[in-house]
Structure 1
Amino acid sequence: MVIRADASHPNKTEGGRTSGLGQSLSPALRRVNTDRLGPITWFRTDWQRSGASTGRAIWTSEDGTTSEVLVKIPVSEREFRWLRRLQDAPTPLPVPRLFASGDTLEDYHLGWVIIEYLPFGPIGAKWHDDHLERITLAAARFQGAASLHPVDRDLKHEDWEALLKRSREAARGRDLAAVTRWRKALKMASKHLDQLVEKWHRRAPIGWIHGDLHLANGMSREVDEGSPVVLIDLAEVRPGHWVEDAVYLERLNWARPERLKGRNPVKLLASARRRLGLEIGSEYPRLADIRRILLASCVPAFLRTEGVPTYVQAALEQLENGLHRAH
């Protein structure tokens, strides 16, 4: 089954009752883009999380051809920058095609973009066995295109010691299932934390990663279920090791082991990078385990937001298995 991007029947309005900002800025957007941007229909989809106003319109190119487009305002500086940077990436373009953009709109200091309308997706709307393979290939294409740009920002550094301390404090209470196993695992993680963090800080290669890789951020230009995935939502792009994208995607499916059986996102992304001639690094399995240990050990610290029992249990198993492999 193919999911169309408009299949959620979002609340659309010609005037923009669902998007006051979009409605108020529509005239300015059309003035800035002269006669190319047609009337905008603002909407909000079921899976949209950001506070940006999003609308559909028709774009008329210089040669008179028309294209369906999405108008998004405001956009973060990071998303604005990476949409622009990756327009020269090899085809199929790993991000939406950009028709127009600006970091100001008349007297307003805010970013806006006009991008191609992607008619199919997100791929996470309905599970299919090839989803992980398709999105990891998209991630590899994204990382490869982004690698042409020098890393000019600092790595993100989490305070693992403080997070683990919060987890151990949470494990002293009674809100945690399998609390004895959690206490034992967290104690072992704490014992080896300095060594784990030191190895993590020395990870290589470092490049640009998507930072928010999941199935709801994968769209498609074509009806074919095997067609290339286009990655959206570039607001979290940052420097890191490629396994961070893979383990992030894996973590979101820890509580759904039937999806991960035989489909390891780390191995899939490594394979995709290898096919594209991208550096993998010899220690990536070890680094992936360290990342799993660090992330899983933090779950008790966030019980209020990540306290779904199946996920908490899956995180405990990841922590125990990771520590066993690491030591």
Structure 2
Amino acid sequence: MIVKIPVGSNELSWTVRLGNHGLDRDVVEGQVPHPTPRVLTSGEELGGHDLAWLVIERLEGKPVSGDLSERSLTGLLRAAVEFQARAERGKGAFGAPPPTPDWEKALDDSRQWVRDNHIENASRWKSALQGVQKLLPRLVARWEAREMNAWCHGDLHPGNVMHMPAEEGHPDRCVLIDLALTHAGHWVEDAVYLEHLFWGHEDKLFGVKPVKQMRKLRKDRGLRVGEEDSVLADIKRLLVASTTPSFLTVGGDSLHAHGALVVAEDLVKRLSGV
């Protein structure tokens, strides 16, 4: 077992609510694997103090980040969709999403970084960011008007997902951990977040396309998908790609930065008529 302390209220609530299931390896072939760890016990106080804590099962296997493959990444997406399905069950209205990032400031920070540092492809970045600036008010308004149709994990990176290979009688499965940032949103948020981590390193996705595959898995699971999903995914991609320089450090991942630039250049053209 693993003891986690302290734990924020959001993580405590979601982990406990989704963790009321059987033992880790009680899932047999033909059953849908649990997408979150089993909670053994939990509390909101410790020693008379307001200090939340969790005791969860210790999961065998390793993080997907240390076990990247088509199988593990597909399992990650399956677990994410099952998480969305179980989170939606009995929770009621989705409510408001977290506060919107200040995209205009982030874009200004990106332009400042490009000006102040010897970044590769500086002239291309300047041109791309200028194009984004013209589109920004309209794109942000479109993004803000998106339907709230999912409980997003909020930090869906391979280090937050455990992969357990199949054993005799038990299926290959992935389990999501660290639910602290779970929030109401649109399902493309998690998919685009995962995808953007591999910009410039697309070979490590082994052909898996997070947005396309998550949409199919949601549809197969009976969860909502919409006609605007592709446009919303592109808007989110462009917002993330264009603000990538604001998060760079000197000597950072140049391949990732170049991948973000290629995405930004492509989407400025594609979204100009949206």
Question: Which structure has more helix as a fraction of its residues?
Answer: 2
Aligned counterparts of 1:222 and 1:171: Cα–Cα separation in 2: 44
Q: Which has the higher contact order (CA 8 A, sep 6+)?
A: 2
Q: Which residue of 2 aligns with 1:190?
A: 133
Q: Which 5+ residue runs of structure 1 have no aligned equivalent?
A: 1-68
Q: Which residue of 1 aligns with 2:200?
A: 255
Where in structure 2 are the equivalents of 1:128-139 lying within 5 Å?
128-139=69-80
Distance 1:323 1:179, change over 3 A: same
Describe the superposition over 1:30-57 as per-residue Cα deviations: whole angstroms up to 9, x where unpaired: xxxxxxxxxxxxxxxxxxxxxxxxxxxx
Aligned counterparts of 1:261 and 1:136: Cα–Cα separation in 2: 14
2:228 aligned with 1:283: yes
Aligned counterparts of 1:98 and 1:308: Cα–Cα separation in 2: 37
Q: Pairwise CA RMSD of aligned residues?
A: 2.1
| Cα displacement (A) at 1:221 | 5.1
Aligned counterparts of 1:226 and 1:259: Cα–Cα separation in 2: 23
From 197, 211, 216, the counterpart of 1:271: 216
1:207 and 1:239 in contact (8 A); partners too: yes
Aligned length: 259
Q: Which 5+ residue runs of structure 2 have no aligned equivalent?
A: 22-30
| Cα displacement (A) at 1:302 | 1.8
Identical pairs, percent: 38
Aligned counterparts of 1:242 and 1:306: Cα–Cα separation in 2: 33
Where in structure 2 are the equivalents of 1:39-78 lying within 5 Å?
69-78=1-10
Aligned counterparts of 1:215 and 1:301: Cα–Cα separation in 2: 23
Taking structure 1 as the reference length, the TM-score comes to 0.74
Describe the superposition over 1:86-139 as per-residue Cα deviations: whole angstroms up to 9, x where unpaired: 135795221101110001012232111111110111122122122221111111
From 202, 221, 227, the counterpart of 2:145: 202
1:134 and 1:226 in contact (8 A); partners too: no
1:119 and 1:222 in contact (8 A); partners too: no
2:64 and 2:159 in contact (8 A); partners too: yes
Q: Which residue of 1 aligns with 2:238?
A: 293
1:254 and 1:314 in contact (8 A); partners too: yes
Q: Which residue of 2 aligns with 1:84?
A: 16
Q: Which residue of 2 aligns with 1:113?
A: 54
2:94 aligned with 1:158: no
Aligned counterparts of 2:33 and 2:57: Cα–Cα separation in 1: 13
Greater mean deviation of Cα atoms: 285-294 or 172-181: 172-181
From 88, 110, 114, the counterpart of 1:147: 88
| Cα displacement (A) at 1:173 | 2.8
2:123 aligned with 1:180: yes
Q: Which residue of 1 aligns with 2:161?
A: 218
Aligned counterparts of 2:250 and 2:4: Cα–Cα separation in 1: 28
Distance 1:122 1:286, change over 3 A: same
Distance 1:106 1:304, change over 3 A: same
1:156 and 1:239 in contact (8 A); partners too: no
> What letter matches 1:119 in structure 2?
E
2:70 and 2:206 in contact (8 A); partners too: no
Residue 232 of structure 2 aligns to a residue whose secondary structure is helix
1:211 and 1:236 in contact (8 A); partners too: yes
| Cα displacement (A) at 1:197 | 0.5
Distance 1:221 1:130, change over 3 A: closer
Describe the superposition over 1:143-176 as per-residue Cα deviations: whole angstroms up to 9, x where unpaired: 1111121324543301111111111222223421
2:100 aligned with 1:168: no
Taking structure 2 as the reference length, the TM-score comes to 0.88
Describe the superposition over 1:231-266 as per-residue Cα deviations: whole angstroms up to 9, x where unpaired: 001111111111010011001111212134632100
